[in-house]
Amino acid sequence: MNVIKTKLKDCVIIEPEIFGDERGFFLETFQLSRYADLADISLPFVQDNYSRSSKSVLRGLHFQKKKPQGKLVRVVRGEVYDVAIDIRPDSQTFGEWEAVILSDKNKKQFWIPPGFAHGFLVLSDIADFEYKCTDYYNPSSEYGIRWNDSDVNIDWGVISPHVSQKDSKLPFLKDQKIKFSRYRRKNIYL
């Protein structure tokens, strides 16, 4: 597998090795020792999620303050523009973002560690999105950043995506006091 570093420390793009012929293909979507050695992903995954969305749906930008989740994301059908924002208060790249196109064709994965907000925009007619999480979903800890925050200035490539009512009312990054609970695993502090 090929690991591509991004401008955001600890956030990486993974290109898995694909074995294919005229019959189809095979690839490993996760293998603990390989991902720990090559991509420095060693937090345990405790929950897998699957979603389906239609074209121009924008989901995000979400994060949890208590028990922040790391996410290993991929698309199994269709194509999305996937975005991570560094919201770790002491990070040199606080407020900066990274994006990658994830699709069933390129089979790339995006590792978004705890301490990042995450969202995606569907580019294809339908997209099936899967992600592994390092902590359980906690609705009382869910927060977010408005998708069109001018200070973050994400270039989504669209003017009017289909955004849920809840996501359209998320606060801007400057209006939040982000202070994460100490992350308990592997002495990682956010």
pLDDT tens column, 57-114: 999 999 998 889 999 999 999 999 999 999 998 899 999 999 999 999 999 999 999 9
Confirm whether 162 is a catalytic residue.
Answer: no
Can you read off the two tokens belonging to residue 174? 């400057």
131 assigned to active site:
yes
CA distance 180 to 45: 19
Residue the block writes with tokens 């028990």 = 67
Write out 69-82 in H/E/C secondary structure.
CCEEEEEEECEEEE
pTM comes to 0.88
- Out of 62, 81, 118, 183, the active site residue is 62
* β-strand partners of 34: none
Catalytic residue among 35, 81, 131, 183: 131
